[in-house]
Amino acid sequence: MTLPKSISVFLDEADKRLAGHPKLQKLFRNTFPNTLETTVKLLEDGTTFVFTGDIHAMWLRDSTEQVRHYIPFAKDDEELQRIIGGLIARQILYMNIDPYTNAFNETANDRHYRDTDDCNLNPWMWERKYELDSLCFPVQLMYDYWKIAGQTSIFTPECYQALTSIVEVMITEQKHEERSGYFFRRQTHQETETLPNDGHGMPCNYTGMTWSGFRPSDDANVFGYHVPSNMFAVVVLGHIIEIATDIYGDKRLAERAEKLRKEIDFGIRHYGIVNHPVYGRIYAYETDGYGNYCLMDDAGTPGLLSIPYIGYVGADDPVYQNTRRFALSFDNPFYFEGKHAKGIGSPHTPGGYVWHMALSMQALTSDNEEEIKELIQMLMDTDADTGFMHEGFHPDDPSDFSREWFAWSNSLFAALIVKAMDENII
């Protein structure tokens, strides 16, 4: 599609700013508009379908992250408002179809990642993995669009219905075994692709946190309370309180969201922190409330590294700093090093792969200028001369990578470079 005027103007300005860094200039010119140029489809109903790249389906999470770096340009750009406002409307439509679905088709075409999945699929659903973050990202997008771009037309009756549903689902999943009818069974031998206990997940104790079945990487949780996603829920419930109060004048919805927010935050602080023998008090990645923990970090957002990015605590939070040191060490089973890179990977990709998104996120959450410069150089050096970011890559051989066309990774890198330019780091 033709780029909105504000984006074209900014790219020309960035070209001048990055003229002394030819490779970075090319990477930014490729990655910043990548979502707009390759993954956006304006639909006749006024909504916007944003697919993930090499998979023609729309993830609630990915589509949000693919466009967030455009929001500051939308205030006075009607073309961009059509795109982002249309995306929010599409996300709302999807959440009202089913709040437990992570990825949707453009139409009710009955296409699915696996036709054999046993999880109450309907024709709109590409995949029905319940990921708590998939309910959080759209709220973050509509809130930022309101606050940064000054747009309120998105707050329709359908939006109110979706926000109410989000709160209801989170409350239901605080006591998953007692209240929830959600299950997911995939005919596979891979543990990361299905839920144990006949598709219901392993038992969890009540903590105040809210349960989910899958991680932001689309891998199954080991334990039901994904701590970073619950942190994100605390943040977006604050947004829902503000929207319910200032836009809809609904005191009851605001009170329900506030009660839920406090309960989840209590659970994080009392069940989601572990005393580590090396790093001190750190946030767990997952827990079941029975004293079992998953101590790791994954490249997907939200993860432990991205806690300041999602807005739960600042980068100077002492527990976060301890957690960051853990996540960027070999004590994290998904931290890898090689000749060309070192960083966090994921069980979602081959063992030993580092993710470009994790390197971008490490830089976005750093307050150390030298670390940020080093990470930007590492990202530049590991694009395999494609001019784009990828999913995972082998740190000894960046030409060995997954996902040649992955718009979320491109957008996150572009957001990093914008931040670095704003802070005069480059």
Euclidean distance between CA atoms 64 and 207, whole angstroms: 29
pLDDT over threshold 90, residue 393: yes
The range of the structural domain enclosing residue 321 comes to: 5-422
- For 96-136, the pLDDT digits (tens) are 999 999 999 999 999 999 999 999 999 999 999 999 999 99
Average pLDDT, the chain: 97
328 to 3, 186, 344: CA distances (angstroms): 38, 32, 7
Euclidean distance between CA atoms 390 and 34, whole angstroms: 13
Euclidean distance between CA atoms 300 and 313, whole angstroms: 18
- For 180-217, the pLDDT digits (tens) are 999 999 987 677 889 999 999 999 999 999 999 999 99
Q: Which pair of structure tokens corresponds to residue 161?
A: 């219905």
55 to 85, 94, 101, 113, 128: CA distances (angstroms): 23, 18, 16, 10, 15
Tell me what pLDDT residue 323 has: 98
SS3 of residue 275 by DSSP: strand
pLDDT over threshold 80, residue 394: yes
The model carries a pTM of: 0.97
Listed residue (212, 327, 314) closest to 264, CA to CA:
212
Domain with residue 236: its CATH number is: 1.50.10.10
Listed residue (415, 373, 308, 306) closest to 73, CA to CA:
415
Total number of domains in the chain:
1
- For 310-355, the pLDDT digits (tens) are 999 999 999 999 999 999 999 999 999 999 999 999 999 988 999 9
- Helix then strand then coil, in percent of the chain rounded to 5, is 45, 10, 40
